[in-house]
Structure 1
Amino acid sequence: MKIYSHENLSLHRPLPYFSYGQMHEPLEIPERMTELLKAPAALGLEVTTATDIGIGPILAVHDFGYVEFLKHGYEEWLAVEEDLGAQVQTGVFVPYDNPGIGIMAKAAKYQADDSAPISEHSWTSIYWSAQTALNAAEALLNQDTTHDRHNTTHADNHIQLCFSRPPGHHARKSAAGGFCYLNNAAIIAEYLRQKYEKIAIIDTDMHHGQGIQEIFYDRSDVLYTSVHGSPINFYPAVTGHEFEKGRGAGYGYNINFPMAHGTDEAGFFAYVDKAIDTVTLYDPDVIVHVLGFDVYKDDPEARCAVSTEGFTRLAKKMVALGKPLIVLVEGGYYLPKLNDNLQAFLSGLMLKD
């Protein structure tokens, strides 16, 4: 098993934002990285510093104008004569019939909600979050492929975990939202297609990853399956229903498992097993697991009740699929248990690695 991170992941610090009629303290804060990094240290696991793979794989998934906004939006925001505030954030979302003239119009075009503001160091963290994930994909692309794709003994030796901060699964082709800016899972799935025919993404974060769904909705070479809280009156609210199955060539390759709010741990794993059955039938070459610790019972975003021990069980289920596995650590906002929960998950990976 190999673990990837980068010191720049801690630079992005969003400020309080207005949502649902009131001000909110951000949940996706740099202190999350401090807690998460304690886990590999406690287990004696080495963390590899990610190297720069470049902007190309990012632009293969996201629109150029959107990436340009993420990179230069803060500079443009500050350059406006009027004081617009300390971070790029308008509360206005007009993605269509918007020529994007001026930074406020660009923000309205590319920021889907107020939970994804851009401040001084945001782009640096956003970029290196994607690069951290890309390092795992690059390692798979460079490995010897003379083995049989069904040789699970070989596959078990290729487990990689990446710290993805800020997270990515809500990021659309040209819109940020839900704490997400670049869609790391989609970026590495697309990157892996250089060599691998079929990629499966299994998302167990508390929220539906509408960005991943959007990007691959009409494709059959990337399966997206998601276990998440019912989107009825819960973020992202407008996607994540069972009837969303894909379009055209992608019909049947987008499978959602929305959980009723209040689902217990047994219910969570019943849905995970259904998602695993779907992935097994698809028989992918590589699995990308979007891991969210926000399914933990005490997480402020939780609408289900997974225990710390449950994350060991979850990891063992991912490894048992017997495929090269890239785990992206994304959601999870209850700081007192992030370290313990990640240790539990890593322990599950190590049992077969």
Structure 2
Amino acid sequence: MQAFFSDDQLLHDPQQFMRLGRICKPTDLPTRAEALMSTLAARGIAVGAPPEAGRAALELVHSVDYLDFLESAYARWQKLGGPGLEPGIEVLPNLSPHGVRSGPCPSPSVVAQAGWYIGDLACPIGPHTWRSVLRSAHAAQAAAETVLDGGGIAYALCRPSGHHAQHARAGGFCYVNNSAIAAATLRRRHARVAVLDIDAHHGDGTQQIFYRRGDVLTVSTHADPSGYYPWYTGYPHERGTGEGEGCNLNLPLAHGSGNAEFAEALDTAVAAIERFQPQALVLPLGFDTYKDDPISVLKFDMEAFRLAGERVRALGLPTVVVQEGGYMVDAIGAALDAFLEGLQA
């Protein structure tokens, strides 16, 4: 198995995010990636830096105006000056657009665009955010192209994560949707691609990107969103629309669910994937389902990740594994090791 990661992905170093009305210390720390790299090294899995590839693959799933904003926002923000905007202040929105938001932001102001393109206060843009985001996307693209060229399985150690990023909006620590980029890249050669998201949070961005499409099946197991991020999506009645009708499956789990409930959801997910008959799979892999994760409401242990690896192996599809959440740095290395044990058994 080939893995991809760029050291530039460590440059993104957020200083804050808001949770329940409090400015909190960040949980998406660079040390997350370092812990995962240690596991790959221990298993003898080669990790290569993805080729520089520009924005072409990102533009398969994101609007040009949104990517322009991400690329330019920090430098433009620093030019504003004034009280509270001393050099180095991260870009965060202080307003939300009224009414229906569609198309490019009607205002050229970076302040207006921050409200238009950033959906919550978990996505600060710092001096190196764009570079890390771009290289994270390149890791997903390179993994997908490796699978296209030779089949098998490839792993993209993506950081920042991506599955909350919509076509033109950041959210939930996510700026660019790495899993959607992998799926769109696989679609260059495969008529049907499935996405199986097993992060603790619903993959709302991935759902939004593919919701009207019949060529990509999106399946997500996640904590019940009625009391958990992303709150507004991830419910069973969301089945897709138009050509995508029936091509979206949400399997929310009651808070406190453990391995047994996850295994049952995986059975349902795998059956849906087999009915869809895809030629390739993307697996957004999150470890924030672990029972001791600082933002988890689920109670999985390491056996759950081993089980996930076994189920993916049994599907027998060319697969791109894309790293998503998991914020207990002391546990995510062991979680990845358990997943790989199941995957490679």
TM over 0.5: yes
Contact 1:289 1:328 in 2 (8 A): yes
Q: 1:96 aligns to what?
A: 101
Other-structure match for 2:134: 127
Report how far residue 344 of structure 1 moved: 1.3
Q: Where does residue 205 of structure 1 map in the other structure?
A: 199
Name the aligned partner's letter for residue 27 of structure 1: T
1:252-267 equivalent positions in 2, closer than 5 A: 252-267=246-261
Q: Distance in 1 between matches of 2:162 and 2:282?
A: 13
Q: Which residue of 2 aligns with 1:238?
A: 232
TM-score (norm 2): 0.95
Larger mean CA deviation between 45-54 and 200-209 belongs to: 45-54
- Matches of 1:170 and 1:91 in 2, distance apart? 20
Task: Note the C-alpha offset of 1:269.
Answer: 1.3
CA RMSD of aligned residues (A): 1.4
Distance in 1, Cα, partners of 2:6 & 2:343 = 21
Letter of the 2:187 counterpart = R
Match of 1:21 in 2: 21
CA positional deviation for 1:141:
3.0
Shift in CA distance, 112/63, structure 1 to aligned 2, threshold 3 Å = same
C-alpha displacement of 1:4: 1.1
Structure 1, unaligned stretches of length 5 or more? Answer: 144-154
1:86-165 matched pairs, under 5 angstroms: 86-94=89-97, 96=101, 98-143=105-150, 158-165=152-159
Q: 5 Å matches for 1:193-342?
A: 193-342=187-336
SS of 1:263's equivalent in the other structure is coil
Which of 304-313 and 72-81 deviates more? 304-313
Contact 2:313 2:344 in 1 (8 A): no
Counterpart of 2:168 in 1: which secondary structure? coil
Moved over 6 A (4+): none
TM-score w.r.t. structure 1 length?
0.93
Q: Which moved more, 1:71-80 or 1:96-105?
A: 96-105
Identity of aligned residues (%): 37
Letter in 1 for 2:70: L
CA contact (8 A) 1:208 1:226 kept: yes
Aligned position for 2:55: 55
Q: Deviations over 1:150-186 (max 9, x none)?
A: xxxxx6xx01111010000000010001000001111
- Give the 3 Å change call, closer, same or farther, for CA 139–45 of structure 1 in structure 2: closer
